[in-house]
Chain A
């Protein structure tokens, strides 16, 4: 690709700053314009009308945590595949065989995860 006169990430930075300010304005708008009347029961969290039983900062299903860990494992490998895909034409058969080896190792891990029941939700 040809050299660009402007760093292509400069517009991204402008958009980022603008998007952030825009988001702040949007979420502050009602706070500035709308009425503000304090009422104890109104400012309680919503629990279908009954008083709050316990805080929501409690123990949660470990499955969500496990999902996040598995995501990291498999997502890194996706990024790796992207790099191979970009230079696929240059690598040819060699790259293909290498990636097959990589994917086989990955599939072994995947089968292990499935067999151990990490992906079972009850």
Chain B
């Protein structure tokens, strides 16, 4: 390795910035993919171990590598291998094409949303600025909301294509629920845009250095968290796969790795929404009262400082992931009409009132400043 740093930067200076950004994108792409694909197995493990602790059981603790049991951490891996080697049963009466297509439509929107999540302050290396998200869309806000709603297609397709009454009911319930809660979800974020005045996700994080969004827009936060649970079909809003009523909903006819594809989509979706909740309300990658400049001074490099920010964001996201599990084992399942009237008759007017009140306060503040 006779290449010095100066030579490297000198060589890089000759290359068009497009190719450098593309290379950086591929690196970020791999990192983000690795993170988001490791979340589901960890979450499956946590979802069995944490309730076990809550109920004074042991949970899965047998599977390990040779004598190292690692608290059952290998359980999801064993499950995955088992699922891959199972026989795939496609019902004769199912619509074959859509039956195979549905899991794909659940996975790729979930993966796509993460591209816009800012994992840290943009890094400056050799004169180039690299954003710490896979892409930096200036309308990241709309992008996130738009892409995350594509998952509805996968679920309703799965329900319809199975040609099973349970599946159909589950698919209909899930899609009606997801689109109903998308309205309060979108509206709960309008006060955030009003306060920060930008649709760029990284800008929003930058402005939350000392005061988190949750203190400026507490009602928005509550609305967002409730809608987050409904959007991912998680307890207490999991009527879509309520096993006591409709077997497993849209998952009824799915087995093998297709079944885990739905799980993958669901858990990646949960992870993304957790990251977004942290970004909008908990200051994203910011450590409270420690500015990014101080962090750069302490660590001595903007890359290290941004990686610390990434860890901070992941910890905040982990909190929300844990909240999912906590709520699941605390609250009983809603009834479907209760769910719909909560969404349409309570959350929607509340979200509208929240928008109006926030706007009124901001406009009054603006007028008093002039």
Contacts of A28 in B (CB 8 A): 100
Name A79-110 residues within 8 Å CB distance of B: 79, 81-82, 85-86, 88-89, 92-93, 96, 99-100, 103, 106-107, 110
Evaluate contact between B136 and A8: CB separation under 8 angstroms.
yes
Contacts of B197 in A (CB 8 A): 86, 88-89
Contacts of B128 in A (CB 8 A): 5
Q: Tell me whether A116 is interfacial, beta carbon within 8 Å.
A: no
Evaluate contact between B172 and A121: CB separation under 8 angstroms.
no
**Contacts A43-B91, A89-B366 given; does A12 touch B112 at CB 8 Å:** yes
Q: Using a CB–CB distance below 8 Å, which chain A residues touch chain B? A: 1-2, 4-6, 8-12, 14-16, 18-20, 22-24, 26-31, 33-37, 40, 42-48, 52, 55-57, 60-61, 63-64, 67-68, 70-71, 74-75, 78-79, 81-82, 85-86, 88-89, 92-93, 96, 99-100, 103, 106-107, 110, 114, 119-122
Q: Using a CB–CB distance below 8 Å, which chain B residues touch chain A? A: 16-18, 20-22, 25-26, 28-29, 33, 83-94, 100, 103-109, 111-112, 115, 128-129, 134-138, 141-143, 162-168, 172, 175-176, 179-180, 182-183, 186-187, 190, 193-194, 197-200, 247, 252-253, 255-258, 260-261, 264, 336-337, 340-341, 344-345, 348-349, 352, 355-356, 359-360, 362-363, 366-367
Rank and list the top 4 A-B pairs by shortest CB-CB distance, nearest first: A19-B108, A23-B104, A30-B256, A121-B337
Not counting A45-B253, A48-B247, a sample of 12 additional A-B residue pairs whose C-beta atoms are within 8 angstroms of each other reads A5-B128, A11-B135, A19-B111, A31-B88, A34-B87, A64-B176, A67-B176, A67-B179, A71-B179, A86-B199, A88-B194, A92-B363
